[in-house]
Amino acid sequence: MKYICLGYLDVNQWATLSPVQQSAMIDECLAYDELLKKNGHWVVGEGLQGPDTATTLRYQNGNVSVTDGPFAETKEILGGLLMIEARDRNHALQIVSNHPGVKMGPWEIRPVEDLTEMIRESERRRGKR
């Protein structure tokens, strides 16, 4: 089963680390990612640029509004996402619990929803079959 894992970074904690410590943490995380790949648990992963580069779209009153920058002020920012393959929820929790990134902020882990049947039904309704 696939799981999406959202890794958050406590920016205050990160700022207390020296550049050498920051580099060491990055190296630990990437080494663990390589282990996930080797063991067949890695599906995909990406780091994200800071929230100051974000754009938020919001649908209201029949229009889409665009807002530059972060949506909310917080000490934790979404730093990246990881998709893993695990036997079940407990296995996913075990895999991510061993990721060095958990030392730098919380992680949210959610099972991926299989949308295959929903897509098929929509295609039938839209006459795509």
Report the number of distinct structural domains present in the chain: 1
Q: CATH code at 10?
A: 3.30.70.1060
Q: Cα dist. 123→99, 114, 115, 117, 119 in Å?
A: 39, 16, 12, 10, 6
Give the tens place of pLDDT for each residue, 14-25: 999 999 999 999
Lowest pLDDT segment from 13-22, 34-43, 56-65, 117-126: 56-65
The phi and psi torsions of 72 (rounded to 5 degrees) equal -135, 150
The domain of 36 spans: 2-125
pTM: predicted TM-score of the whole model, two decimal places = 0.84
Give the tens place of pLDDT for each residue, 69-125: 766 566 788 999 999 999 999 999 999 999 999 999 999 999 999 999 999 999 999
